Amino acid sequence: MLFKSKTPSPKSPAVPDLAVQPEQPAKIVAQPARPVQHSVIPAGMQIDGDLVSTGDIIVGGMIQGDITCRTLTLEGDPIIDGSIRAETIRICGSFSGGVRARKVALTKTARVVGEIHYQSLEMEAGASFEGALHRLEEACKRR
């Protein structure tokens, strides 16, 4: 008759305990919100080509190309030779040209000559605008 020893021999490896352990709930670690990316084109800088961003762009310099972004802020005396499309456009300085956005805000220091296509327009006291305003069709259809 063969008998097995209940204690492992020094030469045999220890056998892990295979008893079923209740699963521990996974720890959920909150990730901080990704900060919005800001790109700045300062006065004195010139860019030749289109700008496309999922974040925000602040322009004070010269752009020769189209701009497409989430939020565009025009400061100082930017020169933009191209079309502008954004969710929100905020004009804080002098600008000549055309813009298309859901929301357009002209601050009290804005001096704008051109064409604005908008769904929502905000104009602070002191802002100056000369040109044409066009309400976008999508805004009219939603009401």
**Residue 30 forms part of a structural domain:** no
Tell me, what's the pLDDT at 139? 47
Answer whether residue 86 shows pLDDT above 90: yes
What is the distance between the alpha carbons of residues 24 and 141, in angstroms, rounded to a whole number?
A: 52
Number of domains in the chain: 1
Residue 120: the pLDDT is: 97
Whether 33 has a pLDDT exceeding 80, the answer reads no
Report if residue 46 sits inside a domain: yes
Using CA atoms of 68, 79, 106, 142 in order, give the dihedral in degrees to the nearest 10: -30
Q: Which domain holds residue 127?
A: 38-142
Asked if the model's pLDDT at residue 121 lies above 90, the reply is: yes
Chain segment 35-45, per-residue pLDDT in tens:
667 899 999 99
